[in-house]
Structure 1
Amino acid sequence: MKTFRYYSCLMFAAFALSACDAFELDNYEEPGETIEGIVVDAKTGEPVLTDQGSEGIRVRLTELSYGDNVDHNPDFYCRPDGTFRNTKIFKGDYNIRIDGPFIPVYRDTDDGTVISDDTWYGKISGTTNVKFEVYPFLKVEFVETPSVSNGQITAKVKVTRAISKDEFRSMVEPMGGYSNDFTNVTDIQLFVSMSSSVGYRARDQRWSSQINYAGDSFDEYEGKPITIRSAAGQTIPSGRHVFVRAAARINYDTPRGSGTRRWNYSEPLEVIIP
């Protein structure tokens, strides 16, 4: 009996010591540094409007304090107005890469040769501010205030290229695997929602609609007012306050090979259904 008690005490002491060691290993302060920034058009200085979700502008942080062979932090995304903020970052040296409906800020060839690196390198401590200047694919805007008739919204939208086909090609072709189809505008969307953060992730599918374009058929409409209506046969109830945004995208995924083709957006507008 004494032997049993002796070994039991030893086992308990070892367990308690291990538990204390494990507790000490996890006893780190919570991350409290802040990174905030904005993504703007390099030509105009205007914010690059986006969607608040995985189809929007992706922000990827990689901490470099412990060497180059490290995993990136969990991705997060810009707000609809092109700004971003993360208040739970450990102090350290970082690289920040963004991916969105614009020329990639990091471009390399198939063999890994770096063509251009406009990602951000620096130390995050306290509140750190970052500004990215990029080249959006498209500019999307409402030509006039949308109208309402019998519970259906009619909007006039103008889509222009924020970067020309030749400029796009000069930047993207050196990466390899270039296709003239990349610059084709594939669709224009009218997103309708009860939420002011209206977009692909916050849309009401009953009322939202789209116009699709095959090949380069959109080109004849570039810069011209295009009429788009909310979904036919789906009446928006009288008295509702809804929000609308127009969006358009090209046949190019960012980052390359991801399969995600991201929209460029207009400003949101509020529409009151009489």
Structure 2
Amino acid sequence: MKQIAHCFFYMILALLASSCNVFEIDPYDAPGATLQGKLTNEAGDPFITEQPNGFKIRIIENGSPTPRDFWGRPDGTFFNSKIFRGKYKIVATDGAFFPVDTVEADVSGTTTIDFKIIPYLIIEADITAHGGDLVATYKIHKAAGAGKIKNARLLVTKWNPNVGMNYNDKSVMRDLSGITDGAIEGAEFTDNIPGYLEKGVTYYARVAVLADNTLGRYNFSDVFEIAVP
């Protein structure tokens, strides 16, 4: 019996020893580094967009062939606090702007990287309420080398300040494909949504314009908050 007991004892010790590896502490740090920054044009103005489908930040860690992407914010900033410390190639991509240079940086603690971008288009707009009508006047400025200006859209919603192609209750489109870009840039346009506004409601509206590009990304005006008394 003593021999059997000794056998069981040593078997249990062996099992405990072999199982220790299961409970070893992971030697790698948690992904606690932060990468943040902003996209601005050459004048220092923020890149106004919508999200999702506004722009992404792509990071590739040294030694890894696999990129990781995360979405930016509608005001042109970006923030990700779940990144492993390390050396990365970082680039802003998938937006309505020309390609930018990739940046190499050590990401540790909080790392800030800003990108200067050239948007395909800049839209100067003014959007107001006239009784129950929503009226937008706007001008379109095109960067050299951008694709043909295809259309413009007046977008409005009464529930989301981030109004855009993804979030709107109503829109009207102006087809610009048959007008030369030179004529478009020399004009001021007025679009309206008649009889749409209700008293006592706050609306959000903006103008979006598409210059021909592979991803079909729009450039946007600022968002206008319109409170109807």
What's the TM-score bracket when you normalise by the shorter of the two chains?
0.7 to 0.9
Structure with higher Rg: it is 2
Q: Find 1:101's aligned residue among 91, 96, 100.
A: 96
Secondary structure of the 1:79 match is coil
Once the two structures are TM-superposed, the CA of residue 9 in structure 1 deviates from its matched residue by 5.2
The answer for the alignment partner of 2:71 in structure 1 is 77
Please tell me whether the aligned partners of residues 57 and 98 of structure 1 are also in contact (alpha carbons under 8 angstroms): yes
Q: Find 1:197's aligned residue among 154, 162, 175.
A: 162
Q: Find 2:131's aligned residue among 131, 143, 149.
A: 149
Q: Deviations along 1:75-106, whole A, 9 cap, x unmatched?
A: 2222222111111111111111112211112x
- How far apart, CA to CA, are the structure 1 residues paired with 2:97 and 2:178? 20
- How far apart, CA to CA, are the structure 1 residues paired with 2:91 and 2:190? 36
Once the two structures are TM-superposed, the CA of residue 138 in structure 1 deviates from its matched residue by 0.7
Secondary structure of the 1:121 match is strand
Once the two structures are TM-superposed, the CA of residue 18 in structure 1 deviates from its matched residue by 5.4
Once the two structures are TM-superposed, the CA of residue 14 in structure 1 deviates from its matched residue by 7.8
Secondary structure of the 1:35 match is strand
Q: Find 2:192's aligned residue among 229, 244, 267.
A: 229
- How far apart, CA to CA, are the structure 2 residues paired with 1:223 and 1:10? 85
The answer for the alignment partner of 1:38 in structure 2 is 38
- How far apart, CA to CA, are the structure 1 residues paired with 2:120 and 2:51? 18
Query: CA, structure 1 residues 158+17, in 2 after alignment: closer, same or farther (shift >3 Å)?
Result: same
Q: Find 1:248's aligned residue among 199, 205, 209.
A: 209
Please tell me whether the aligned partners of residues 184 and 215 of structure 1 are also in contact (alpha carbons under 8 angstroms): no
Once the two structures are TM-superposed, the CA of residue 215 in structure 1 deviates from its matched residue by 4.9
Aligned length: 223
Secondary structure of the 2:113 match is strand
Once the two structures are TM-superposed, the CA of residue 15 in structure 1 deviates from its matched residue by 7.5
Q: Find 2:173's aligned residue among 191, 200, 210.
A: 210
- How far apart, CA to CA, are the structure 1 residues paired with 2:55 and 2:36? 14
> Within the alignment, does 1:29 sit opposite 2:29 as a pair?
yes
1:242 corresponds to which letter in structure 2? Y
Q: Find 2:116's aligned residue among 127, 130, 133.
A: 133
Once the two structures are TM-superposed, the CA of residue 11 in structure 1 deviates from its matched residue by 9.4
1:39 corresponds to which letter in structure 2? L
- How far apart, CA to CA, are the structure 1 residues paired with 2:192 and 2:172? 7
Once the two structures are TM-superposed, the CA of residue 52 in structure 1 deviates from its matched residue by 1.8
Please list every run of 5 or more consecutive structure 1 residues that lacks an aligned counterpart in the other structure. 106-117, 169-181, 254-259
The answer for the alignment partner of 1:114 in structure 2 is none
The answer for the alignment partner of 1:175 in structure 2 is none
Percent identical: 29
Please tell me whether the aligned partners of residues 50 and 78 of structure 1 are also in contact (alpha carbons under 8 angstroms): no
Once the two structures are TM-superposed, the CA of residue 218 in structure 1 deviates from its matched residue by 5.1
- How far apart, CA to CA, are the structure 1 residues paired with 2:178 and 2:19? 69
1:196 corresponds to which letter in structure 2? P
Secondary structure of the 1:183 match is coil
Q: TM-score w.r.t. structure 1 length? A: 0.71
> Within the alignment, does 1:20 sit opposite 2:23 as a pair?
yes
Q: Deviations along 1:138-183, whole A, 9 cap, x unmatched?
A: 11121x3422332x3111111111x22xxx2xxxxxxxxxxxxx62
- How far apart, CA to CA, are the structure 2 residues paired with 1:240 and 1:18? 63
Q: Find 1:271's aligned residue among 209, 223, 226.
A: 226
2:123 corresponds to which letter in structure 1? V
The structure where strand makes up a greater share of residues is 2
Query: CA, structure 1 residues 9+102, in 2 after alignment: closer, same or farther (shift >3 Å)?
Result: same
The answer for the alignment partner of 2:51 in structure 1 is 52
Secondary structure of the 1:51 match is coil
> Within the alignment, does 1:185 sit opposite 2:157 as a pair?
no
